[in-house]
A and B are shown apart, each in its own frame.
Chain A
Amino acid sequence: MNVALFVTCLADHYFADAAADTVRLLRHLGCTVSFPEAQTCCGQPAYNAGRQGEALRMARHTIGVFEDADAVVVPSGSCATMVKKFYPRLTGGTATLADRTFELGEFIVHRLGVTELGDGLAGRRIAIHQGCHALRELRLESEPATLLEGCGAEIVPWEAHDECCGFGGLFSVKMTAVSAAMADRKLDTLPEIDWVVSGDGGCVLQLDGRSRAREMGVEFVHLATALWRGAAAPGGAR
């Protein structure tokens, strides 16, 4: 299958290895991956701030960039939501890109029909942070756990797993004290684990930033990297 990668701003600059792992994983699963170089920002910062005109300009740009792609994979639940749910609102329902775009875990489970990637995460204890947009806009709830368990990981229950980390883009700098307190609620309820896995770079920046400020030593791993580690170990299969 031909797949275009929409890398997203944060993955490009802060999670470049996770983005590269996305490419490796998709190739491993038999996809031919392209990277349209004219891609930029999905426009969510403007959209969430109420700057709909600017968000629409960025949406149109992105829609143009991926015009010919059969399938677009996004290693971010939030940016995938922008394309899948908010572009149709902005463009009045004309954005067919929405139907061709998939969050990474969604793509592997539902489009490729793969849930067993390998056993590279055997014995690893993982808490999953469920990003709000993937969970409540795209209704992707079980996919990360299914895939990680499919790699042999033990998913450790976390009472705050589905609560917002407090990032929210501009929210994190406009309402910084509330935002940090929200991250604390997540961090203070973490069980004994090896990794916190999240499919969203934004949430990791927030939680990791707060965890490092508090010198908590929590290790955050992007979903793409965790899955690639799970798939690439000896015995890793499709």
Chain B
Amino acid sequence: MPTGIRDYPARAREIIRKDPLVRESVTGATIAFDEKRRRSYAEIDAEAWRRWAEGVKNHTLTHLDRYLTEAEARLEANGAEVHWAEDAAEAREIVMELAQRHSVRDVVKGKSMLTEEIDLNPALERARIDVLETDLGEFILQLFNEPPSHILGPAIHKSLQQVRNLFTEVLRTDSDADPDTLAQAAREALSDVFIRADMGITGANFLVAETGTVALIENEGNIRLATSLPRVHVAIVGIEKLLPRMTDLAGFLQLTARAATGQPIGCFVSLIQGPALHPEDDGPEEVHVILVDNGRTDVLAHEHAWEALRCLRCGACLNVCPVYRQTGGHAYGYVYSGPIGSVLDPGLLGLHEAMPLPFASSLCGACFDACPVRIPIPELLLEWRREAQEAGLTPWKERAALAGLAGMATRPGLYRAAGKLGSRLAGTGMARSLPMLGAWAEDRALPKPSRRTFRELWRAGIE
């Protein structure tokens, strides 16, 4: 799938300069999310929870073959059907085949980044199947015809007024409706479809190997409906979502909610182990679990990047990230944006495809402190940068400049002379024509060099 990653710097600039409402909406919403996350972490021994979760995930990822096999056996014993998809195309084909088998005409979906990753909706629509996103944020974006810009709050870049205007046009709500009224209008618009739908498609937050349980966290109740009303439920699950035991799930449900929204636990947790056991029971006739690789085993095999597979998709790193806050997710050009996207995308897509995302960070480190599974995002960014340098994926002028700096910095005499010359030039009009300082001066006043360098002051004697 072609991505827009390469255009990150230009797209970010365009959003910041031409659409200031995006920056305002994203900054406001992420700060609110992050404050809740901080308060929620402060209620528990967050460091101990994070280390525990890191350990469970590391164990699972290093024994993935065992737990995948166990999960498959349990799911099948429960009456669910398990499918394996090596890549996005295979995953789509499996869904399409299931849709044809059941003559599906209407699909309701729960929020799932993996279905974005495998580009599922367009494939369904091409087969003339109606797909309806039932998460409020995703529903809004489907009406706007835009991809999600945040893992958790897909419409985070939209202002209340923009949503109001949209709903007035599409759902005939009042032009000054409050958020609750808007949500209610969406709920009413969706209610018929849940009953009409033949198939519910969701992702999964976790898959418990011990019991074959698909766990889904939500706050709106739409996933509960999408997994219980239609005849067929299809859960599309990344292979990194495994957890060994139910007791692990008990901890992860809480930690995920705290990291994502600051809640002690999500309003709804659906635990799905298979189809309805008897015809008179509630629940779907068939449950299908599609286990998707799509680059994950490559990430797992990478010396450093495998740690990114611990990700719970909570969005905490996006919320705290000062880089993400300026643009939202669309600037990044791919499903996974923000800090986690910048370390995961190079692994999933290949580093060449994901340039320059490893450089889209000031390495401030806020993401690591927020991450519930302690993914060392700044260190992983540095590893990708190192690989990018070795593979020659960075501008040659930059490589030459840094090699020159190292050459001078190991020759003190040369360093002193060049340093003084450089800082003097940087303070003059010539600076604007130098490559890096030119970029600096686009948005900032030039730095003012000291009248005399410290070395000169030292030699003259400091009183």
Contact = CB atoms under 8 A, between A and B. Distances in A.
A12 B457 CA distance: 10
Contacts of A38: 412
Interface stretch (B109-117, B303-311, B386-394): B386-394
B34 to A, nearest CB: 10
Interface residues of A, number: 64
B102 interface: no
A137 B23 CA distance: 28
Interface of B: 8-9, 12-13, 16-17, 23, 27, 322-323, 325-327, 356, 358-366, 368-369, 382, 384-389, 394, 398-399, 402-403, 405-406, 408-410, 412, 415, 419-420, 422-423, 436-437, 439-440, 442-458, 462-463
A47 B452 CA distance: 28
Given A17-B450, A54-B403, A164-B364, A181 B326 contact: yes
Nearest to B423: A13
A146 B444 CA distance: 32
Contact of A40 (B415, B420, B439, B463): B415
Interface stretch (A109-117, A147-155, A171-179, A190-198): A171-179
Contacts of B443: 176-177, 179-180, 210, 213
Given A14-B423, A173-B439, A176-B443, A51 B23 contact: no
B365 A9 contact: no
10 contacts: A13-B423, A14-B423, A35-B458, A46-B405, A51-B403, A132-B366, A164-B322, A171-B361, A173-B440, A206-B444
Given A168-B363, A177-B12, A61 B410 contact: yes
A132 B378 CA distance: 12
A37 B362 CA distance: 31
Interface stretch (A19-27, A91-99, A100-108, A120-128): A19-27
Given A61-B409, A133-B365, A213-B443, 7 more contacts: A14-B448, A14-B450, A16-B451, A40-B415, A175-B12, A176-B443, A182-B362
B455 A37 contact: yes
Contacts of A61: 409-410
Given A37-B412, A177-B12, A15 B363 contact: no
A49 B440 contact: no
B325, B405, B419, B453: most-surrounded residue (chain A CB, <10 A): B405
A178 B386 contact: no
A166 B360 CA distance: 11
Interface string A137-169: 100000000000000000000000001101110
B364 A168 contact: yes
| 10 closest residue pairs by CB, A with B | A168-B362, A50-B385, A209-B444, A54-B406, A16-B450, A212-B445, A180-B443, A164-B364, A177-B13, A13-B423
Nearest to A65: B412
A41 interface: yes
B221 to A, nearest CB: 35
A13 B388 contact: no
Contacts of B412: 37-40
B287 to A, nearest CB: 44
A27 to B, nearest CB: 8
Nearest to B448: A14
B363 A132 contact: yes
B13 A185 contact: no
A137 B405 CA distance: 25
Given A174-B356, A213-B445, A132 B325 contact: no
Interface in A56-84: 57-58, 61
A236 interface: no
A118 interface: no
B398, B409, B442: most-surrounded residue (chain A CB, <10 A): B409
Given A132-B364, A173-B436, A14 B405 contact: no
Contacts of B365: 132-133, 136-137
A170 B365 CA distance: 16
A194 B452 CA distance: 26
Contacts of A221: none
A210 B444 CA distance: 4
A166 B455 CA distance: 29
